[in-house]
Amino acid sequence: MNNGPKKNLGANFDPIDRILSADEQLVPSSGFVSSVMERVREQAAAPPPIPFPWKRMLPGFGLAVGVFGWGAFELVRYLPQAIRHASFAAPHLPVFASRDLTQAGWVALACVLALLSWWFSSRLTQHSRIL
């Protein structure tokens, strides 16, 4: 390491400038160049990364777009009719059905809580850089 400022700053200079510009100079170790070149040669010799299989993905992607497009088209086609014929009065449900609905509510609540807990824990691990 070499010490000393590279610029000769007088005592009148801002002390922060004077001190921080006088930082020591490191000389890289003797094996530095060879270790960098070794890593470079390793990477150069490594096979190129496998390209993303766009050709294989395209049919599946096309199918998915078709299915969702068809779904959206059907929804748009039947939604106005469904709204027109919908009655907003509460349907009369038998007792066993309403009990099932209550249970479904609890299941939904549990799902939401599980989702929140997963989101919260993943946020925590991100912030603490555990993973």
Q: Which residues bind other proteins (CB under 8 A)?
A: 6-7, 11-23, 25-29, 32-33, 35-37, 39-41, 43-44, 129
Q: Which is nearer to other proteins, 49 or 91 (CB)?
A: 49
Least Å distance between CB 36 and other proteins?
5
Least Å distance between CB 28 and other proteins?
5
Q: What is the 3-state secondary structure (H, E, C) of 43-110?
A: HHHCCCCCCCCHHHHHHHHHHHHHHHHHHHHHHHHHHHHHHHHCCCCCCCCCHHHHHHHHHHHHHHHH
Q: Which is nearer to other proteins, 41 or 99 (CB)?
A: 41
Using the CB atoms, write b or e for 17-56: b if 16+ within 10 Å.
Answer: eeeeeeeeeeeeeeeeeeeeeeeeeeeeeeeeeeeeeeee
Q: Which is nearer to other proteins, 24 or 106 (CB)?
A: 24
Least Å distance between CB 48 and other proteins?
12
Q: How far is residue 31's CA from residue 54's CA, in Å, rounded to a whole number?
A: 43
Phi, psi of 25 (to 5 degrees): -105, 125
Q: Which is nearer to other proteins, 39 or 99 (CB)?
A: 39
Least Å distance between CB 124 and other proteins?
17
Q: Which is nearer to other proteins, 44 or 89 (CB)?
A: 44
Least Å distance between CB 97 and other proteins?
55
